[in-house]
Amino acid sequence: MSYAGLEFENAHCLAEHEYSLLNEANVATLLTTGNGYMGVRASLEEYGSLGIQGFLVRGVMDEVVEVRLTMCDNMYMKKYYVEEDRLKKFEKQERAINLLDFLLVRFEIGGEVFYPWDGKVILWKRCLRLSDGVLYREVIWENSKGQQTKFCFSRFASFSDDHTYCQHVTAEPLNYSGQIKVLSGLDLRTKSNGQIPQKTIDIQFDGHTVFQEEIAGPKYGFHAASGVYQTFSGHSADWEDVNEDGIVAQRITFEAEQEKVYTLEKLVSVVTSRDTDRELAECIKEYMDKYKDSSYEKEYKKHSKIYKNLFSKLDIVIEGDDTADRAIRFSNYHTLISLERNDYVHSFSAKGLTGEMYNNFVWWDAEIFQAPVFLQTMPEYSKNPLLFRYSHLKEAKELAIKEGYKGARYPFTTGVTGEETVWTDVRHPFMQIHCVSDIGLSVLNYLAATGDNVFMKEYGMEMLLEICRFWVSRVTFNEEKRRYEILQVTGTDEHHPYVDNNAYTNYSVYNVLSATCRLLERYGEEIASVKQKTGFDEKEKEEFARVAELIYLPLNLETGMIPQFDGYFSLSRELEVQGGSKSGYTQMKQAGLYNKSQVIKQPDVLMLFAYQNLDMPDTIYRRNLDYYQGRCEAASSLSYCVHSICFADMDMPESTYGYLMETAEMDLKNMHGGTQDGIHSGCAAGAWMAVARGVAGMKITEDMVSFTPHYIPWWDKVTFHCVWHNLGYQVTLDNSGINITADADNNNILPVKVNGSSYSIKAGETAVHAFAAARLARNT
């Protein structure tokens, strides 16, 4: 299977065997290296082309000019999607800043610079090793004089130190001896959305080190400093400091001998003012001093030990289907490098740190699609996204006041300040207030996965109280129908703004209100300080309970259908196409009048079953799945994992597998045409969920882990590891049954239920549950 010129050589190596300008932008995304703090796109060391190169640090953002072009050539665009008056005022937007290119290693041989588009490439192999997070490249290049040189490049973002990036480069003259020059250091000529907002304020050379400090942009004025410590071995060489035309580097000149290998190592450190209050130059100097006693190999050993341990927690092994096994592992790699483990300056973003698209904003994807994976695999790090939200509770409360409500109204997207950052010329995001309850659901999911009552008492309950306050002030009581309703919203399906009683929103609010009431009962006076801090009145609990009791939960008992919103079923089942622009920045598959149509962008009702485990009879579940899957144009990459989980719940392996593979191969196959702009991070996380929640049927509550396992007939076995309440366990699923093995070092019994049968699994023991068909076959 070839993906954009890439193919899996084995279970852990995604390789490229031919340099391709056609595929270069997509490959730069797919082979990104990162550690959650930084993301480095797979541009070439010899030249980081614009649109290919990218170096992003979580939370380092500023404002740049952003051109928004649209033509409202149908009534839907005019009245329901674009706010033209705000579009006229729109000019600048916050986004992640592409700081610089520290990968620069440029060889000059016989007076000719090595570029793969010049001379002759005799051998080319580039490989992302999922096993250790290293990007490796091997090239044999011939210049116009016939001189052939073998180059080997290795690099990784360290998992042992967020601020360290390591490069190892070798050059071997194959058929000549002669002078070689190497230019190695920093290329400052990087752009963000085609602009250069950053400004260099200091450059220093000291021995074999290069230092640069810059201001990332004028609005926030974040400082970023980079240091490069370089060593060269194999021959004595002349070193020259270079500071010209945006290149801050050192030129190494040496006389090379045929068939002798020469090695350059670069240990790079990056620190920003978002990380520390100290002078950045001091921080970088400490790293440069530390690197004097280190090497690429030493840093690799530290990195690989941590990386391999973390990746093993996330890895899923599928036997009998190499294509699925490798595509899901690739997705899990990108999910891993999207996680910042060591702070909560920022949270998950829609493209991780693999590209500039979506500006590195934090969306509702963070809580609903990305966080659940780590809740069940690395819970020790999963509180950071919630602490990010807690750190911006003040801004959420201010937004609620601004809109005339109480409590905390979290924004649809946010970046540095915790305030709303979504593009002001689009209407629907300002009504997508389900993002508020999504954060509440994430708090509840964290509690279910970890049992961390300390977190709840210090942070979680305060967030929940303010979220519930918002909803109690936001609902409208319908006197005639004696129920609470939520009016004028947009659900997860962004094609339909200005709707009343969106199913996903209403059910989510009910779940958050109900659970918060239960927790208030449980914690009582244990959270007296939280109540005092928030000014919580016990009468408010009664209000929460009353709204939860009377909120309208859409369901037609006669048909078994859940209307996505009021009047949904009165719309046309077809989509009238009118106009042709679709706007330059929408996620619409057609220029349609979506306001008149049942065609939806992505799942809404089905999200309730897949990600909130809505408990309904299978007949209702199946009916809604069949109907809404047929109405969904899947214009969002977040559609496929939802459909896969739902079809798994209905024991439909062909559809389960089809949507699972669309999830895992989304960017490998560039299915939505945007791979060059970055990985679809929420979709990538959905691949893990489609296997664990979908195929294995795993659900977690505060009381236990439960399974309703299904199977893919052509899979021999699937294995993965999870954690619940600090108790680790391995799941092994095949077509005869499911085994759950508790980790040998567990300090408590793991409560599990499989298809209604309960198991209490002691440390090191295994619960074996055979499928009914397998038991029947053995008995006969």
Annotated catalytic residues are 494
Please tell me what DSSP assigns to residue 722.
Answer: E
- Can you read off the two tokens belonging to residue 96? 């992640």
- Residue type at position 692: A
Helices (H) and strands (E) in the chain, counts: 22, 32
The Cα 504–Cα 609 span in angstroms is: 10
Nearest to 134 by CA among 269, 304, 263, 270: 304
Distances (CA, A) of 440 to 368, 401, 488, 515: 10, 19, 21, 10
- Report whether 617 contacts 625 (CB < 8 A): no
Residues belonging to the chain: 780
Number of CB atoms found within 10 A of residue 288's CB = 20
Give the list of residues 6+ apart from residue 207 with CB closer than 8 angstroms, or none.
none
Q: Are strands 178-187 and 164-173 parallel, antiparallel or unpaired?
A: unpaired
CA terminus-to-terminus distance, the chain: 41
Helix, strand, coil shares of the chain, percent, nearest 5, are: 35, 25, 40
CA–CA distance, 489 with 497 (Å, rounded to integer): 6
Q: Measure the CA–CA gap between 446 and 452, rounded to whole angstroms.
A: 8
**Minimal CA–CA distance to 151: which of 132, 167, 130?**
167
Q: Is residue 156 left, alpha or beta, with left meaning phi > 0 and alpha meaning psi from -120 to 50?
A: beta
Q: Which of 230, 221, 313, 220 is nearest to 722 (CA)?
A: 313
DSSP string, 734-764: ETTEEEEEE-TT-SS-EEEEETTEEEEEPTT
Q: Write b or e for each residue in 204-240: b if 16 or more Cβ atoms lie within 10 A of its Cβ, otherwise e.
A: ebeebbbbbbbbbbeebebbbbbbbbbebebeebeee
Beta bridge partners of 170: 152, 263
Bridge partner list, 169:
153, 264
Q: For residue 124, list its beta bridge partners.
A: 139
Walk across the sheet containing 698-700 and list its strands. 698-700, 705-707, 750-754, 757-761
What is residue 390's three-state secondary structure? helix
Q: Do 443 and 247 touch, CB atoms closer than 8 A?
A: no
Nearest to 525 by CA among 516, 538, 513, 508: 538
* 37 three-class SS: coil
Give SS3 for 443: helix
Coil vs helix vs strand at 610: helix
Three-state DSSP class for residue 401: helix
Contact 54, 39 (CB under 8 A): yes
Is the separation of the CB atoms in 233 and 261 below 8 Å? Answer: no
DSSP 447-487: HHHH--HHHIIIIIHHHHHHHHHHHHHH-EEETTTTEEE--
Tell me the C-alpha to C-alpha distance, in Å, between residue 525 and each of 175, 459, 467. Answer: 80, 15, 20
CA angle 297, 299, 303 (to 5 degrees): 115
Instruction: Take residue 679 and report the two structure tokens written for it.
Output: 């990985």
Apex CA 656: angle with CA 501 and CA 450, to 5°? 65
